[in-house]
Chain A
């Protein structure tokens, strides 16, 4: 398993349950990936820990396999590439080691998107994930006053977490005419007086050495700035929550067939229903397979782990049942209007996969 976040951990649990030997490699110093900074309670079904906080889920997942002799964790270890002979290179403590897996589940997650505006490189312009890491993992406030850019779930949740940490959130701006995240998250911050400015974006960030302020502007229905609507906010931090893109470098390097699917966040691997890519033996799961959320990442990890282990000849009496349950849960998570984008993206991905023969 490359990556021990929600997808990688669930893939490891599933493969172990099938009787496979598993090694989890992760660049972080603890398992859980980005769960370790998610202080909010999850939605979804009980199988994916609805009602539990991400910070606790990370530990609960890891506990299921931590002491299993069939499972090895390699932490503080970065996979740097695939080699022609099937080995993967792993950097740990400045030394390079090699490992060969009969099957590889890639669950490397995503990186944060940037937004183009003057001053976007000033210290104080931080990704939403960075803000979460700094304050929720290390207990350091990112600043005193924050402008949040993006009203998807991440922007809304991190705004709320900033308030919990005692940081002022002056406003949330969102280029779309409506809030992208769940209403329950939006209402939480609106109740305490944080304005959510839809059809607005950040025009520029100002400062000589660090962020000192930001100018926000209203957008027309054509997404162009409306003249003379600029408003200045005195902030020391601008937090970008403008989406994620799959961290797919390893897949490109491995020669997996890739496709650009904007609904899934960018370039993703063509894959079958079992999450195997065009390169035999390499599976994907989680945000790397298409940007969604931690709950769906866990289920995808389960499917990929079960499938990878089964392809090695491992068997379990409940295999079919677990697979069917996972697929049904995934479909339920993706149902409804908020799941439409992902459904369209996956349809497109599967169509492209059939065209080149990756999907039967």
Chain B
């Protein structure tokens, strides 16, 4: 979805952070440092963030403020990260999560 970023707006001005690269299921994408991972994915045209554990139905975000847990993904190997609030950083490894995820030993 090219052009998902708003460049001209009658009221708002968007100060973009530093451009960073991250991977989504191995594919290299670009986003702005400090924006939520979900915003960067959405701007890159990625709307399906995962699947429901039982029926394997596609899942996207719903509330975008960390309340509803519809957007859980595996980030840098860590499962169940709410990507609607987790901030994007350079080199992040973002992956579609299979199942409910397993806690890491050091968590």
Contacts and interface: CB of A to CB of B under 8 A. Distances in A.
A210 B43 contact: no
Contacts of B28: none
A127 interface: yes
Given A123-B48, A140-B43, A130 B64 contact: yes
A316 interface: no
B75 to A, nearest CB: 13
Size bin of chain B's contact surface: 35 or more
Given A39-B12, A139-B14, A111 B5 contact: no
B63 A111 contact: yes
A169 B30 CA distance: 28
A125 B64 CA distance: 12
Given A111-B67, A127-B62, A130-B62, A141 B48 contact: no
B45 to A, nearest CB: 10
A130 B63 contact: yes
Interface string B67-107: 11000000000000000110100000000000000000001
B59 A123 contact: yes
Interface string A95-139: 000000000000000011000000001111111011101111011
A141 B38 CA distance: 12
B64 A210 contact: no
A166 interface: yes
B10 interface: yes
B47 A139 contact: no
B9 interface: yes
B61 interface: yes
Contacts of A136: 12
A108 B50 CA distance: 28
Contacts of B4: 140-141
A111 B9 contact: no
A27 interface: yes
Interface string B45-61: 00111001000011111
Interface in B1-16: 1, 3-6, 8-12, 14, 16
B47 A129 contact: no
* Chain A CB within 10 Å, residue with most, of B11, B59, B65, B67: B65
A203 interface: no
A165 B93 CA distance: 30
Q: Which 8 A-B pairs have the closest CB atoms?
A: A123-B60, A130-B64, A139-B14, A138-B39, A133-B64, A123-B47, A139-B6, A140-B43
25 contacts: A27-B66, A34-B65, A39-B12, A111-B63, A112-B62, A112-B63, A121-B59, A123-B47, A125-B62, A126-B60, A127-B63, A127-B64, A127-B68, A129-B65, A130-B63, A131-B64, A138-B14, A138-B39, A139-B5, A139-B6, A140-B4, A141-B4, A165-B6, A210-B47, A210-B60
Interface of A: 27-29, 34, 39, 53, 55, 94, 111-112, 121-127, 129-131, 133-136, 138-142, 144, 164-166, 209-210, 247
